[in-house]
Structure 1
Amino acid sequence: MRPKIYLFGDSITEESFCSGGWGSSLAHHFSRTLDVVLRGYSGYNTSVLNGSGGGTPLKPLRLVPNEEWWGGGGVPELCATSFLFCLQNQWPTTLILLMTPPPIDEEGRLKHPYVENATGLPERTNEAAGAYAKACIEVSGERGIPVIDLWTKMQKFPDWQKVYLSDGLHLTPTGNRVVFEELVVKLRENSLSLEKLPVDLPLISEIDTKDPLKAFEK
């Protein structure tokens, strides 16, 4: 049976299978070696995800950044810890890889609010996203879980607000590319790479046209 990677998270995960998305790029990258399964739930936060599980064993790849939007959310460290405890308790042998929230462009959120916003304040802040990113990294370190720090990496580049984010939160094609490339590197570090994974069924170059069944007997 082919191994599977489950992408578990919020709208950034849900949109990852759009054209040029990091999820679809990952599926294409591993097309002959494993299956990439989408479990993205727009608007969900860790409290909701803790109770859902997505209905299937998971190899989660995102810690959702919707805590602040849900009326202030909770303590970042507690949200991250409870989320990981739930996953590790239910699937103790599954490799878990976390990604922090990306940074938030507050000006972009004011221009693209979910609902009419008369307060003049963004419903999310980059400071809060940074707090959850920090908690994600710290808790991952305590539990020995690999993590990708999107919040820090993206802000190292000039004009990241427009280059990587389409509406102050969700990713542009360039932002999706960054996530995909970071994932490939981190997965390779954890023994998930094209070089180490067996190919699903023989390659066409390995099949003898005069005796095609022979290649399937190996």
Structure 2
Amino acid sequence: MSTLTSTIFFSPSLLIPARTKPTNSPNNQVFFHKNDHYLNRIVPQKKRASFCIKAQEQKVEEGVPSATIACPTVRPKFVLFGSSIVEYGFHEGWAATLAHLYGRQVDVVLRGYAGWNSRTALRILDKIFPKHATQQPSLVIVYFGGNDATHPQPDGHGSHVPLKEYSENMRKIFNHLKSLSEKTRIIFLSTPPINEKQLFGDSDGIHFTKEGSKVVSREILKVLREADWEPSLYWREMPIEFKDYYTPIGLDGEPIDEYNTRFPPGVEWE
């Protein structure tokens, strides 16, 4: 028998109003607040304990380690920020590849907005990357330019941004991201060639093909592998979350390298 003791804290920002003096339950294991109208309205009394668990004894099977958990693990965060090449990144593959490779190491956050140019991105930059956030990203991958580079429309509308303004917008985006944290690293993806006839015709002239997405994935990984960053952000050099709780075993009964277990046989990534 073992005893697990944990405390779960909830932020006031989770739509739960300010609480008054707590009322302990008879068994002194859980507590809720008598005047918490939010809980009273939507949560049955028997289930209120799930909101605020103060302490609870649990039976643990033999062989399962027990410990006091002070707080959850906070993973590093990679943010992919850009236009449709980012938004469609899971469908087209390059963002999905990163999320898969870093599946037990990093939270990959998608912030892609189809049709956006650098001008729009600059207007909402502080909303996506607030300077006073409790956790700043370890890496930001930025792509804008495909929409900026389209030809101006006769009516003055459209996504076109003059080259001088585009360069200044990207500089401002870089400066903002750089100011988030000394540990925030930044990669900018250059603008790919654009086929205007395809773009406005029957086929796509801007988004990646399956093979093109592989090229982007490998180039990003190459940068992460070769960059002189401390700590390293390359997937084979970053620590694996909860590695002590699981060791993959091969057919011969010997432990195998966990980094090699993330793809089917024959599929490899550098």
The normalised TM-score by structure 2 is: 0.51
Q: Partner of 2:189 in structure 1?
A: 99
The SS at the match of 2:86 is helix
Q: Partner of 1:117 in structure 2?
A: none
CA distance in 1, matches of 2:76, 2:159: 38
- The 4+ residue runs of structure 1 with deviation greater than 3 A are 56-59, 68-72, 89-93
Q: Partner of 2:246 in structure 1?
A: 204
Structure 2 unaligned segments of length 5 or more: list them.
1-73, 130-135, 151-157, 250-270
Say how many residue pairs are matched: 153
Q: Partner of 1:55 in structure 2?
A: 128
Deviations 1:57-108 (A, max 9, x none): 4533123112244454131422322221232234454111110111112332
C-alpha change, 1:48 and 1:71, in structure 2 (3 Å) is closer
Q: Partner of 1:17 in structure 2?
A: 90
CA distance in 2, matches of 1:101, 1:199: 33
Deviation at 1:33, TM superposition (A): 1.4
Identity across aligned pairs (percent)? 32
Instruction: Tell me whether 1:187 sits opposite 2:224 in the alignment.
Output: yes
Instruction: Tell me whether 1:30 sits opposite 2:120 in the alignment.
Output: no
Deviation at 1:55, TM superposition (A): 2.6
Kept in 1, the 8 Å contact 2:87–2:114? The answer is yes
C-alpha change, 1:107 and 1:183, in structure 2 (3 Å) is same
Larger radius of gyration between Structure 1 and Structure 2 = 2
CA distance in 2, matches of 1:80, 1:206: 44
C-alpha change, 1:110 and 1:27, in structure 2 (3 Å) is same
The SS at the match of 1:24 is helix
CA distance in 2, matches of 1:192, 1:92: 14
Kept in 2, the 8 Å contact 1:11–1:41? The answer is yes
C-alpha change, 1:206 and 1:173, in structure 2 (3 Å) is closer
Deviation at 1:22, TM superposition (A): 0.4
The SS at the match of 2:119 is helix
- Higher mean alpha-carbon deviation, 56-65 vs 178-187, is at 56-65
Kept in 2, the 8 Å contact 1:11–1:43? The answer is yes
Kept in 1, the 8 Å contact 2:116–2:159? The answer is no
More helix by percentage: 1
- Higher mean alpha-carbon deviation, 166-175 vs 81-90, is at 81-90
Kept in 2, the 8 Å contact 1:9–1:60? The answer is no
Structure 1 unaligned segments of length 5 or more: list them.
113-165, 208-218
Q: Paired residue for 1:178, among 215, 227, 233?
A: 215
C-alpha change, 1:51 and 1:39, in structure 2 (3 Å) is same
- Taking CA–CA contacts closer than 8 Å with sequence separation of 6 or more, which of the two structures ends up with the larger relative contact order? 1
Deviations 1:89-147 (A, max 9, x none): 344541111101111123322424xxxxxxxxxxxxxxxxxxxxxxxxxxxxxxxxxxx
CA distance in 2, matches of 1:204, 1:3: 20
Instruction: Tell me whether 1:73 sits opposite 2:161 in the alignment.
Output: yes
Deviations 1:192-213 (A, max 9, x none): 1233210011252279xxxxxx
Over the aligned positions, Cα root-mean-square deviation in angstroms equals 2.3
Q: Partner of 2:144 in structure 1?
A: 64
